[in-house]
Chains A and B, each alone.
Chain A
Amino acid sequence: MIELVIEQVRELLKDKSQPVTGETALIGDSKILDSLGLVELCLRLEDEATDLGFEFDWTSDTAMSRNRSMFRTVSALAVEFESQQQAKS
């Protein structure tokens, strides 16, 4: 799943030479996407989830938390996406 998220993040980057890994931050000072990019990423993951047969819920009480947010890193988002897929399958 992490490859899927990395691919989607890469597609949203203006500067395609920027490295994207599991540790890449999606919120905070070193975030790689602006808020618009983050929403676009969520919309893309929504579409991916629909294709996979579930609904991806990207609302979260901890969305802006550096320690607990599903958006803190690419891999955290991938884990959340996969966990929602498993919960709803």
Chain B
Amino acid sequence: MILVTGASRGIGFGIANRFNSLGFDVVGLARTRIDVAFPTFQVDVTNDEEVRRVALNFKKAKTFPAVVINVAGIASMNLALMTPGTKARAVVDTNLLGTMYVCQAFAPLIARAGGGSIINFSSIAVALGLSGESVYAASKAGVETYTRVLARELAGMNIRANCIAPGPIDTELLRGVSDTQIGEIVKQQILPTRFTVDDICDVTEALIDKRLSSISGEVLHIGGV
């Protein structure tokens, strides 16, 4: 079974939908109630207890995911000195702590499944240190480091953990970012192409493939940096 957070829209929805259409058993987690082709649970990943409760229900049902994909995230475009504390906290809560809570609650279930893979989502903003994305980039840098340590700690349990770091992908997260700004970021990629949700799905699919079982603790930059 494949568990995807942030499954209501954007990259999360795209990934969940892709695996569902390929015939995988997919379960989505989303903050809002959604009507999609795969089963979903309503959960706020910033709420540690809520996440643990959902994981406990999976355990009670003896439903053990082999793959957990943490996509749930929010963005904040603002200058470092002008970002309100409440916004900074919300970004860190969702992007970093939310990822940690889901990993902590579900990694034991992956172990019970006999091992598997965790994929966390970072961003090109980390590698490029993009102006206007200080808090967002910091939260995603935290995700990268957390994933690297997690990969080391879980290796003995046959669990791999990696990050995917996309550049600008056409989702709601980019709302308010001009085409010029996006173009400037894309130009800094090694492959200066504006990649799509489908491209992310391809990489995600590849990462859970057994042929990539030697890859753990890595950050895969879409387009290269």
Interface string of B33-53 (1 = CB under 8 A from A): 000000000000000000000
Does A55 have its Cβ within 8 Å of any Cβ on chain B? yes
Q: Are B108 and A39 in contact (CB under 8 A)?
A: yes
Q: Which residues on A sit within 8 Å (CB–CB) of B111?
A: 39-40, 43
CB distance from B110 to the nearest CB of A (A): 11
- Whether the Cβ atoms of B156 and A36 lie closer than 8 Å is yes
Beta-carbon contact of B157 and A55 below 8 Å: no
Asked if B104 is at the interface (CB within 8 A of a chain A CB), the reply is yes
Q: Is the CB of A55 within 8 A of B56?
A: yes
- Decide yes or no whether B9 CB sits under 8 A from chain A: no
**Contacts known (A43-B108, A43-B111, A59-B104); A34 close to B56, Cβ less than 8 A:** no
Are B153 and A35 interface neighbours, CB within 8 A? yes
Majority SS at the chain B contact face? helix
B18 at the interface (CB under 8 A from A): no
Chain A residues 34-48 with CB under 8 Å of chain B are: 34-36, 39-40, 42-43, 46
List chain A residues, Cβ under 8 A from B104.
59
Number of interface residues of B (CB under 8 A): 10
Residues of B within 8 A of A43 (CB): 108, 111-112
Q: Is the interface of A mostly helix, strand, loop or mixed?
A: helix
CB distance from B65 to the nearest CB of A (A): 15
> Which residues of chain A come closer than 8 Å to B60, judged between CB atoms?
50
The minimal Cβ–Cβ distance linking A38 to chain B, given in whole angstroms, is: 10
Q: How far is the CB of A58 from chain B (nearest CB, A)?
A: 9
* Residues of A close to B112: CB separation below 8 A: 43
Which residues of chain B are near A55, meaning CB under 8 Å?
Answer: 56
Nearest chain A CB to B123 CB, angstrom units: 28
A42 → chain B closest CB, angstroms: 8
Which residues between 17 and 45 of chain A lie within 8 Å of chain B, taking CB atoms? 34-36, 39-40, 42-43
Closest Cβ–Cβ distance, residue A53 to chain B (whole Å): 12
Nearest-CB residue, chain A, relative to B112 = A43
Which of B49-65 touch A at CB < 8 Å? Answer: 56, 59-60
> Could you tell me the distance between the alpha carbons of A20 and B60 in the complex, rounded to whole angstroms?
31
Q: Which residues of A contact B157 (CB under 8 A)?
A: 36, 39
A34–B111 alpha-carbon span in the complex (Å): 16
Nearest CB of chain B from residue A32's CB, rounded to whole Å: 16
Q: Are B108 and A35 in contact (CB under 8 A)?
A: no
Query: Is B56 within 8 A of A35, CB to CB?
Result: no
B154-191 residues with Cβ-Cβ distance < 8 A to A are 156-157
Residues of B contacting A40 in the complex (Cβ-Cβ under 8 angstroms): 111
Instruction: Please indicate the chain A residues that have their CB under 8 angstroms from the CB of B156 in the complex.
Output: 34-36
Tell me the B96-122 residues at the A interface (CB within 8 Å).
104, 108, 111-112
In Å, the complex CA distance between A53 and B51 comes to: 21
Q: List 9 A-B contacts (CB under 8 A).
A: A34-B156, A35-B156, A36-B156, A36-B157, A39-B108, A39-B111, A40-B111, A43-B108, A43-B112
Could you tell me which A residues sit within 8 Å of B by CB distance? 34-36, 39-40, 42-43, 46, 50, 55, 59
